[in-house]
Amino acid sequence: MHVFRKRNGKGNGNGGPVIRMEGITKVYDTGKVRVEALRGIDLAIGGGEFVAIVGPSGSGKSTLMNLIGCLDTPTGGDYDLLGEPVKGLDRNRLSAVRNRRVGFVFQNFNLLPQISAYENVELPLLFGSVSAKERKRRTEEVLARVGLEDRMEHKPTELSGGQMQRVAIARALAMDPAILLADEPTGNLDSTSGGDIMALFEDLWRQGRTIVVITHDAALSRRASRVVEIRDGRITRDTGARPEGGNAREALPE
């Protein structure tokens, strides 16, 4: 049982899940090689959940992340994001969905090196055609949220790994998306910076963000409210949704 928490008047008011996947399959067919990356995923994630998707390399979890983030489309099955079917959207529409609904955080940060932290964070707002005044307000707000208000004019190369990842998180938050989708966000960081980033995610979750993290990092998955394990393209374990405030640490036998 989960409760959808309404944030900033956004989200689906009917209390339905943020993510609803039914019978999702993904087949990569190069003509010679046919790889079934996902073999039928049923997954519902409600608003305000903090889900860790774990699994060994090649399990299909990155494919799942690409599908959740609308970077790719499934071969079969149905996927509704905020109650809206993603199926059949063209590439331009998918871009718009990513822009408004999904905030990405990547393992290697994926910041543009030649522009400042501020300009990096502003990018999704530019693609979303947000007015100049509103862009400035939101960019400054999210940079302050991740504690980088005094690093706005720095280029990524002038920042530490942890700071770069915080810029990336600020960028992911800029459009106030329905879900924050992170792929091994602590994978390239030392344990101290990694800890900071984990704390930041937990903080954001406690404020009502829906977070989906793909990770190998047991320390990170322990902070999640729910752990979904994937092997060979199937969900092999799901701790299920926890009531708010609780996390997987209590739910999982260690």
> Interface with another protein by CB under 8 A: which residues?
66, 69, 71-72, 91-92, 95-96, 98-100, 104, 106, 110-112, 114-115, 123-124, 126-129, 171, 175
Own/partner long-range contacts of 109-115 (Cβ < 8 Å, ≥24 apart): 109/156, 109/161, 109/164, 109/165, 109/167, 109/168, 109/188, 110/168, 111/156, 111/164, 111/167, 111/168, 111/171, 112/156, 113/155, 113/156, 113/157, 114/155, 115/155
Q: Would you tell me how many other CB atoms lie within 10 Å of the CB of residue 32?
A: 5
CB of 222 to another protein, least distance (A): 28
Q: Please, which residue, 126 or 218, has the CB nearer to another protein?
A: 126
The alpha carbon of 44 is separated from its chain's Cα centroid by a whole number of angstroms, namely: 15
Tokens coding 129: 């055609």
Q: Please, which residue, 25 or 110, has the CB nearer to another protein?
A: 110
CB of 66 to another protein, least distance (A): 5
CB of 244 to another protein, least distance (A): 29
Q: Please, which residue, 44 or 71, has the CB nearer to another protein?
A: 71
CB of 156 to another protein, least distance (A): 12
Q: Please, which residue, 40 or 127, has the CB nearer to another protein?
A: 127
**114 has which bridge partners?**
none
